[in-house]
Amino acid sequence: MADEPIRSVYYDLQAAQGGEFEDFDGWLWTGTFGDVPGEYEAVRTDVGMWDVYPLIKWDFRGSDALRAAQRVFTNDVANLKVGHVRYGAFVDEHGMMLDDVTVYKLADDHCWVMTNQFGYEDWFTEVFAGLDVSFEDRTRQMPLISVQGPRSRELLQGLTDADFSNLTYFRFWPEPVSIAGVDAWVMRTGFSGELGYEVIADPAVAVGLWEAIQGAGARPFGTHAIEIARIESGMIVIGMDYEPGTRTPYDVSFDRVVKLDAGFIGAAALRGVAADPPNRFKTLRVEGTEVPEYGAEVTKGGEPIGTLTSPANSPRFGIIGLAVVDVNHAADGTEVDVALGDGTVKATVADLSLYDPKKERPRS
């Protein structure tokens, strides 16, 4: 008998509220509460809350904890300060992207590394040989609630004496603070393209924290709503925008989070690619009212030039999609064709983030 998918500590609470769930890689994610447009609007115009329990959370400890993270992480952690967060990629020795990853520094000998995939233990053991570091998958001990939307700061501030005005973008408090009487870590991060926070509490008290945040006015949402928001904002998802081991970080325009002198494995293999990336990650604005499929071929003059990785029907922009496109056809305004049914539909290359190109809203 196959193993049952893993349920979040918030599963029963969400199920009682009409949550619908989907099995992804052995974990149950909340898809929707039955009103995707309403859930999406909560994120864009008010405040929503999302169960991100299945995000894999690694705990690195030891005098070489940060050095270990650096060996597999493309961004630079050498100058990372306590309470700071950095985003980047895991790559293998060939420079191929395995995961998109976030590193949180709690102390000189302690960091969290959050990934999309589990099962890195053997790889870590091999790559970290000779370093003073221990690592542990603490996903089930660290249930995470993502609170996103223009009112997220206001709502959370009303539940605590901690000063949220002092917590800036991509920072976190390295010690728990009391939120509605529950000790919780608070991070100024998220996956919506809006002002947002992520909070982690002990599983024994996590449900009480969820109830307090929802009671203060946050609307629960699921992956169907966040999928629209993240595509509008140009954010990637593993298994959709890239398959592990098949693309370099430059194929998804990760240039700014690849520091070739940081000391990660695969840097040498990426130097040539960095000088002249063959592909760019862009948004396509698609004509018509039909949504192409994930993985639809992008062509120019009948010749393949890329792949539509993540399409969506956006309430604000119509039919759009993220795409990996040949650099020679990646300029904004370039007209291309996208496979749709037995034919194609016209599309235009546009900025990666249509919703907020300068990323001003998350920093607000």
| CATH code for position 70 | 3.30.70.1400
Q: Which DSSP letter does residue 299 get? A: E
CATH assignment of the domain containing 173: 3.30.1360.120
Q: Among 213, 231, 249, where does a domain finish? A: 231
Residue labelled with tokens 């001990």? 141
Amino acid at 162: A
- Tell which of 197, 213, 231 closes a domain: 231
Q: Are residues 91 and 27 in the same domain?
A: no
Instruction: Give residue 40's identity as a one-letter amino acid code.
Output: Y
Number of domains in the chain: 3
Q: Is residue 257 part of a domain?
A: no
The residue type of 345 is V
Burial of 204 (0-12, 13-18, 19+ CB in 10 A): exposed
What is the DSSP annotation of 145-182? EEEESTTHHHHHHTT-SS-GGG--TTBB-SS-EEETTE
The reply to whether 27 and 60 lie within a common domain is no
Query: For residues 88 and 3, what is the distance between their CA atoms, to the nearest angstrom?
Result: 32
Copy the structure tokens of residue 179: 């939120």
CA dihedral 218, 222, 223, 228 (to 10 degrees): -60
Mean pLDDT in each 10-residue stretch from start to end of the chain (364 residues)? 85 98 95 98 98 98 98 96 98 98 98 97 98 98 98 98 97 98 98 98 98 98 98 98 98 98 97 96 98 98 98 98 98 98 98 96 96
Which pLDDT score, from 0 to 100, does residue 132 have?
A: 98
Q: Same structural domain for residues 65 and 127?
A: yes
Cα–Cα distance between 40 and 278 in angstroms, integer?
34
**Hey, what amino acid is at 352?**
L
- Residue 355: inside a domain, yes or no? yes
Q: Would 39 be classed as within a structural domain? A: yes
CA distance 88 to 255: 10
What is residue 2's predicted lDDT score, i.e. its pLDDT? 56
What is the distance of C-alpha 21 from the center of its chain?
Answer: 19
Q: Which residues lie across from 298 on neighbouring strands? A: 306, 338
Looking at residue 1, what is its pLDDT? 40
Q: Are residues 150 and 133 in the same domain?
A: no
Q: Does residue 204 share a domain with residue 132? A: no
DSSP one-letter code for 247: S
90 and 16 both lie in a single domain = no
What CATH number did the domain enclosing 336 receive? 2.40.30.110
Instruction: Return the exposure string of 269-299: e unless at least 16 CB atoms fall within 10 Å of the residue's CB, then b.
Output: ebeebeeebebbbbbbbbeeeebbeeebebb
pTM score, two decimals?
Answer: 0.97
Query: Can you give the residue range of the structural domain that contains 326?
Result: 280-364
Whether residue 29 sits in one domain with residue 61: no
Q: What is the pLDDT of residue 3?
A: 81
Cα 282 to Cα 192: distance, rounded to the nearest angstrom: 18
Domain boundary among 216, 231, 246: 231
Query: Has residue 296 been placed in a domain?
Result: yes
Please check whether residue 199 lies inside any domain of the structure. yes
Q: Are residues 169 and 225 in the same domain?
A: yes
189 and 133 together in one domain: no
Residue 306 falls inside a structural domain = yes
152 and 222 co-located in one domain = yes
* Whether residues 342 and 294 fall in one domain: yes
Domain identity same for 15 and 147: yes
